[in-house]
Chain A
Amino acid sequence: MSAIKVDQVAIGYSNTLIIDDLSVSIPEKKITTIIGPNGCGKSTLLKAISRVLKTKRGAVYLDGRAIHQLETKEVAKKMAILPQSANAPGGLTVFELVSYGRFPHQSGFGSLKKEDYEYIYWAIDVTGLNEFKDRPVEALSGGQRQRVWIAMALAQDTEILILDEPTTYLDLAHQLDILLLLQRLNEEEGRTIVMVLHDLNHASRFSDYMIAMKNGKLVKEGTPEEVMTCPNLQLVFNIEARIATCPFSDNPICLSYQLCQKDR
């Protein structure tokens, strides 16, 4: 069963197409990671999936319905997005920012209801931000701030979470922290998670499904075992990789790599 279906889409900015004729299915209640070199169109694909960018041809289907024909507020009840570089306006506390996640569920003037408070506190709790909830967001460290944005997306209470490089700019431990949190949300609550990651080993370790892209095209999709192979990595990143097995998760990992010799 697929949560999101991308059907023969062409996506681009003004006159240039970044992705042309790409079809892919995102499985429901799984963690899916998109990998690929810089500029391959993975963020663009993510933006199309999250209806931030309109497709020029083809369509993205959410629960079998074309996403651009749905009310944006209805989509927001099913799908939360964490953009690559989110910036909070000054002076907002953690609680306040997380409370904005309730936006699609409120109507009219909408002060927070009991149910809203419950979701906000749950989101703050599950991201381990209890002691920071009354602090201004700008006073937090990068890792904490990233967790605030994730908490906001969680407060939105959606089946699907879309994250564009959620671990960028974080140190090793904090990266793992975020990914373990996402894994827990997936395993315990059955949330569908779609993200872009640059770290192949993290992608392999935490994903059920991987999508490898290059030049706006789909190169390979499947389980980490199917995607993380030497030929695929050569095709996608033009690297010669040594693949081993992760001692923690039994998934394939890239031990080391070097650039492929250019063809004469």
Chain B
Amino acid sequence: MKEKNNKTHTQHRAKTKNLIIIGVLGLLIVVAFMISMNTGFIKLTPLEVIRTLFGLGTEKQHLILFEFRLPRIIIAVLVGMGLAVSGCVLQGISRNALADPGILGINAGAGLAVMLFISFFPSTAATPVFLLPVLAFFGAGVTAVIIYSLAYKRHEGISPMRLLLTGVAVAAGISSAMIVLTLRLSPENYQFVATWLAGSIWGSNWKFVLSLLPWILVLIPFVFSKARVLNVLNLGDLTATGLGASIEKERRILLAAAVGLAGASVSVSGGIGFVGLIGPHLARQLVGSRHQFLIPAAALTGGLLVLVADTLGRWILQPSEIPAGIVVAVIGAPYFLYLLSRLKD
């Protein structure tokens, strides 16, 4: 009996350790938040931030905090969370460590929709900024549906490997279509599209926060509630079936959730890549592969990553900005190569 208590104790300790790690990640986001507030043309110290948050700041501080920085920071964190959890789900259901929303053509699809719109309605490009997230989301969704139906085979359902390969092929096709389309664009429009594709948090506005927030608030808890299913799907189809998971159904639902998360995120941030790949990976190094811990840890890592990238992007070449997507790629590309080299053995 005493031995049994010891055993439970070890399990308990592992759980506590993971909870502490998740807590630290949350704390880091708060720290990054403070630093981000303090970065830019007008600096706000943590004290001023707190005072302004409680309505005690000057009017100018109030304006900068509430109208410029806060929505931008919130969007950065939400986008990071959405992309990382999306990647986490895709890696789980495909059992492929290199899966991310970009591989499913979601970024490319969103980009193409935005580009098509701008190239066919060039004069309106400046005005309908609020249409862009809708277009991007639509593009992401349509691409996901196309990839899914191309990869689907009757009787056999959807094989993760075929899904990934189809995704890569469709994404490549879309990218080349986009290159052709750039020829139609005026320099100004090209500039806009290029910035969008590079993934700048351009929609720093409360309306974008409101358009993204519901997706995150609904889908991340939903995915979290499927943590046990993801654990089991991760063991492979045969074992998962043996354990009584309805793999086809679960995979379809989770895939839809991943597309929703990535599509909504990309629609306000533009094409930020790598977060969906690196976020879950870093999280896995920290808390292991059980999704009960992996999903929250990936969400926080992703949020932190994009927030830090956006802050760095605003800081490095002041007063001009580097899109967060590029900063993430600069960090992400070497990490990706490192991953590949580790996967070999």
Q: Which residues of A contact B (CB under 8 A)?
A: 13-14, 47, 50-52, 54, 72-77, 79-83, 86-93, 95-96, 100-101, 103-104, 106, 108-110, 117, 121, 133-134, 153, 156, 162
Contacts and interface: CB of A to CB of B under 8 A. Distances in A.
Contact of B243 (A14, A54, A74, A156): A156
28 contacts: A50-B242, A52-B241, A72-B245, A72-B246, A76-B242, A79-B242, A80-B242, A81-B239, A81-B242, A83-B239, A86-B239, A88-B235, A90-B284, A91-B284, A92-B289, A92-B290, A96-B288, A100-B232, A103-B231, A103-B232, A104-B243, A108-B225, A109-B225, A109-B228, A110-B228, A133-B10, A153-B242, A156-B242
A8 to B, nearest CB: 20
Nearest to B92: A89
Of B4, B243, B284, which is in contact with the most chain A CB atoms at under 10 Å from its CB? B243
A86 B235 contact: yes
A134 B10 contact: yes
B251 to A, nearest CB: 14
Interface bracket on B: 20 to 34
A96 B244 contact: no
B241 A91 contact: no
A77 B244 contact: yes
B241 A81 contact: yes
A77 B156 CA distance: 25
Nearest to A50: B242
Contacts of B11: 95
A74 B243 CA distance: 10
A9 B234 CA distance: 30
Contacts of A101: 243
Nearest to B247: A72
Nearest to B246: A72
Contacts of A47: 238
A96 B232 CA distance: 11
B162 interface: no
A96 B8 CA distance: 12
A86 B232 CA distance: 12
A188 B95 CA distance: 37
A93 B18 CA distance: 14
Interface in B236-262: 236-239, 241-246
A24 B198 CA distance: 62
A41 to B, nearest CB: 17
B95 to A, nearest CB: 7
Interface in B196-243: 225, 227-228, 231-232, 234-239, 241-243
Given A86-B236, A96-B290, A76 B10 contact: no
Nearest to A114: B8
Contact of B244 (A14, A75, A83): A75
Nearest to B285: A91
Contacts of A79: 242
A117 B153 CA distance: 40
B2 interface: no
B285 to A, nearest CB: 8
B244 A90 contact: no
B241 A103 contact: no
Contacts of A95: 10-11
B60 interface: no
A52 B237 contact: yes
A133 B7 contact: yes
Contacts of A103: 228, 231-232, 243-245
B344 interface: no
Contacts of B7: 121, 133
Contact of A76 (B235, B244, B284): B244
Contact of A100 (B4, B231, B284): B231
Contacts of A93: 14, 288
A161 B75 CA distance: 50
Contact of A91 (B227, B236, B244, B288): B288
A95 B4 CA distance: 13
Contacts of A76: 242-244
Contact of A89 (B14, B242, B245, B289): B289
B243 A50 contact: no
B4 A121 contact: yes
